[in-house]
Amino acid sequence: MPDLTQLLHALPGAVLLSRNDVIVYANPTCIALFEADSPQDLLGHTTNEFVHPLDKQRSSERIHRVSESAHAGASAPNKPSEFRIQTCRGNLRMVLISSVAINVDGAPAVLMCGLDMTHQSEIQEQLRESEQNFRRLFESMQDVYYRTNAQGVVQHVGPGVRRVLGYEPHEIEGHTAEAYYPQSSDRDAFKAAIATHGEVADFSGQMVRKDGRVIDISISSHALFDHNGEFAGVEGIYRDVTQRKNLERELQRLATTDMLTGMTNRRAFLDLAERTYAQARRQGAPMCLLMLDLDHFKSVNDRYGHLEGDRVLVAFAQAVREQLRGSDTVGRLGGEEFCVLLPQTDTASATEVATRILEGTRAMRLATITGETFGITVSIGLATLNDPDQSLHHLLDRADQSLYSAKRSGRDRLAINVLPEEPSASSDSEL
């Protein structure tokens, strides 16, 4: 069993260990987060040296609290909380930190785990500002007021239409609202909601501006009725929420994307794989997984440095994407390990994809900043969905076992895990 240091070293998140508030260990991710040139830039320093002055007291209280729990024989962790830290290069970062007291070699210590939230915080702040802007616009009637008759003909539209759609009011009045929807399905969904509920609030859709640009809109409207109770039209407002939607889409991208390689991150990949697995089982459709691991990647980091190692990962990610279809998905599971999801794909077709990845990786030549060139290889494990697979976990485990088989057999190759009853195949056959 690996020791504690090995386990902490392998974790993808930032981890540091302190005794009496003095840092005694920092894993590679933590060193990168603090923009340190080496572990020595952190070791021997107190944790509060890197905390923003406005957060120092709160940080000290949390460390004191978790240390007291350890002396009391408890190990209740502090709940995650955001702190501003100053890196070794003087940059400011927002980090989500949780801590717990542990015992290391018979002595109490504090284990801290951190997640860089800098980019997410920036986007969230922009989103909050955007929401405030839209509220002010609404209050000043900068949104578009409109009213239609029972046939959907615009009878009146407010002056905000100039800003939102680029039309003068008279250019829209007398025309049907459908003319300004790029997709009839949006208008049909809106009409169905009005017919069912009599009103809608913050209903999402899209409209086409006079210049042809498609924008995201939010509609809040209610049905109108005449004195006989008959439907007479719709009245409400709509607003341009393109900026907000773009920010939401960016937040979603940040939440589901590995920031180094641009690939799908582990959580998002496994969520997608779970859905694809369930659909394949329901429909009896083929599905394959490729588990990829760069060979001797540690030696690249050791020889050329972690920055060069990151460049290798980025280049490899791009090389893998070039071999995939639009329906395929590649995710970074952690470190130098990746997984490719191949829906609607049998073993033979998946083997072709894996072979192309092997050959493409083998042909790559990477250059350091000093001009030195080097190559890399990859080992691949393939697993095909079979009836005995009762969960995605089983399929992933077979792909992982195949990867280990490829590693044990010399690396730079493909190993296939298939069930014995499949024709002309054997378990862990190597190509």
- Render pLDDT for 15-31 as a digit per residue (tens, 0 to 9): 888 888 889 888 888 89
Residue 91 has pLDDT above 80, yes or no: yes
Can you give the pLDDT at residue 399?
A: 93
Conformational region of residue 97, where left means phi above 0, alpha means psi within -120 to 50, and beta covers everything else: beta
**What whole-number distance in Å separates Cα of residue 265 and Cα of residue 120?**
15
Q: How far is CA 374 from CA 228, 295, 368, 369, in A?
A: 82, 13, 8, 12
Please give the distance of CA 47 from its chain centroid, rounded to a whole number.
29
Confidence of residue 75 (pLDDT cuts 50, 70, 90): low
- Render pLDDT for 317-344 as a digit per residue (tens, 0 to 9): 999 999 998 889 999 998 899 999 999 9
Highest mean pLDDT among 7-21, 362-376, 400-414: 400-414
**What whole-number distance in Å separates Cα of residue 408 and Cα of residue 404?**
6
Spell out the domains of the chain, with CATH numbers in brackets. 4-116 (3.30.450.20), 123-246 (3.30.450.20), 258-430 (3.30.70.270)
DSSP 75: -
Confidence of residue 3 (pLDDT cuts 50, 70, 90): low
Average the pLDDT over each of 213-222, 245-254, 274-283, 405-414 and give the range with the smallest value.
245-254
Average pLDDT over residues 148-158: 90
Average pLDDT over residues 293-308: 90
Share of residues in the chain with pLDDT > 90 (%):
32
Can you give the pLDDT at residue 161?
A: 87
Q: Are 55 and 82 in contact (CB under 8 A)?
A: no
Q: 245, 184, 197: which is closest to 218 by C-alpha?
A: 245
**What whole-number distance in Å separates Cα of residue 173 and Cα of residue 176?**
8
Which tokens is 336 given? 């130098």
Can you give the pLDDT at residue 414?
A: 95
Count of residues for the chain?
Answer: 431
Confidence of residue 136 (pLDDT cuts 50, 70, 90): low
3-state secondary structure of 258: coil
Parallel, antiparallel or unpaired: strands 378-384 and 414-417: parallel
Residue of higher predicted confidence among 430 and 110? 110
Highest mean pLDDT among 38-52, 54-68, 243-257, 344-358: 344-358
- Cα end-to-end span (Å), the chain: 32
Share of residues in the chain with pLDDT > 70 (%):
89
DSSP line for 255-292: HHB-TTT-SB-HHHHHHHHHHHHHHHHHHT--EEEEEE
Q: How many helices (H) and strands (E) does the chain have?
A: 13, 18
Average the pLDDT over each of 73-77, 191-195, 233-237 and give the range with the smallest value.
73-77
- Render pLDDT for 376-395 as a digit per residue (tens, 0 to 9): 999 999 999 987 777 899 99
Residue 48 has pLDDT above 60, yes or no: yes
| Dihedral in degrees, nearest 10, Cα atoms 411, 415, 417, 421 | -140
- Render pLDDT for 262-289 as a digit per residue (tens, 0 to 9): 888 899 999 999 999 999 999 999 999 9
Residue of higher predicted confidence among 177 and 128? 177
Can you give the pLDDT at residue 110?
A: 84
Highest mean pLDDT among 122-131, 305-314, 376-385, 422-431: 376-385
